[in-house]
Structure 1
Amino acid sequence: MANPLQFLQQVRSEVGKITWPARREVMLTTGMVFVMAALTALFFSLVDWIIRFGVSQIIG
């Protein structure tokens, strides 16, 4: 087990290795997430509507 000073040095060394995404990349992937969420919501809304229609035809 490392002493606290060694631990902090190792943490600082590891943090220096992090590569943060550029603003453009963050905005692009965020947009893709919103588009995919909207498409998924649309798909499940359509499936729900089809199932509801089918059940209502069967029941009455």
Structure 2
Amino acid sequence: MTRTSPGQYVRQVRQEIAKVTWPSRKEASISTAMVFIMVALAATFFLFVDFLLAEGVQLLFGLGV
């Protein structure tokens, strides 16, 4: 395997970065909003499931108040 010089490495990195298709500001903001919405939905779902499981354990074993 041949070693590349630091200058050649930097040129190769710049060539690869030029090939990247970056999202527009609108696409990035929509994706960010969708991530926040999905996180909120997942958190709500797991809060509900946790509550149901806690109630079930309390009912089954008579633990807690």
Q: Percent identity?
A: 45
2:7 is the alignment partner of 1:5: yes
- With the length of structure 1 as denominator, give the TM-score of the two structures: 0.84
Unaligned runs of 5+ in 2: none
- With the length of structure 2 as denominator, give the TM-score of the two structures: 0.79
Equivalent residues, number: 60
Bigger drift between 22-31 and 11-20 goes to 11-20
Structure with bigger RCO (C-alpha 8 Å, 6+ apart): 2
- State the alpha-carbon separation in 2 of the partners of residues 47 and 27 from structure 1: 30
Cα deviation, 1:36-60, whole Å, max 9, x if unaligned, reads: 1011011111111111111111122
- State the alpha-carbon separation in 2 of the partners of residues 47 and 7 from structure 1: 51
Unaligned runs of 5+ in 1: none
Instruction: Provide the aligned C-alpha RMSD in A.
Output: 1.2
- State the alpha-carbon separation in 1 of the partners of residues 30 and 24 from structure 2: 10
Which secondary structure state, in structure 2, belongs to the residue aligned with residue 16 of structure 1? helix
